[in-house]
Amino acid sequence: MRQSVPDPTKPKDVLYHYFEQFKRLVICKYREIRLNKFNIYPKHRFTALKVFENSGKGKIAIVLANGPSVSTLDQQKLKQFIDTNNVEVFCVNYFPNSDFAKKIPLHYWVISDPRHYDFSEQATIDVFENVSLNLKKGIFLPDNVENKITEYTKLPIIGFNDVQNSNIFSNNINPLFPRSYLSMTAYKALAISLFGNYDKIYICGFDNTFIADLGCDQNNKIYRKAKHFYTKKDAHGEAIFKKDYLMGLGKYDKPRNRNVSQELLTYSRLFSEMDKFKDKRIINLDLNSLTDRFVKDNSLDIYV
Q: State residue 296's pLDDT score.
A: 95
Measured CA to CA, the distance from residue 175 to residue 165 in angstroms comes to 12
Amino acid 249: pLDDT: 67
Separation CA 236–CA 181 (nearest Å): 39
Task: Please report which confidence band the pLDDT of residue 24 belongs to, taking 50, 70 and 90 as the band edges.
Answer: confident
Q: What CA–CA distance (Å, rounded) separates 62 from 108?
A: 10
pLDDT more than 90, % of the chain? 52
- Cα separation values, 114 from 142, 155, 292, Å: 10, 19, 29
pLDDT in tens, 157-199: 999 999 988 888 889 999 999 999 988 999 999 999 999 999 9
Secondary structure (H, E, C), 203-262: EECCCCCCCCCEEECCCCCEEEEECCCCCCECCCCCECCEEECCCCCCCCCCCCCCCHHH
In one-letter notation, the amino acid at residue 37 is K
> Which is it for the CA torsion 28, 29, 31, 32, positive or negative?
positive
Q: In angstroms, what CA-CA distances link 268 with 57, 84, 95, 198?
A: 33, 39, 26, 29
Task: Write down the pLDDT at residue 81.
Answer: 97
Say what percent of the chain tops pLDDT 70. 89
pLDDT classification of 1: cutoffs 50, 70, 90: very low
H or E segment to which residue 11 belongs: helix 11-37
* Mean per-residue pLDDT over the chain, rounded: 87
What average pLDDT score do residues 220-249 get?
75
The domain spans of the chain are: 42-206+282-296
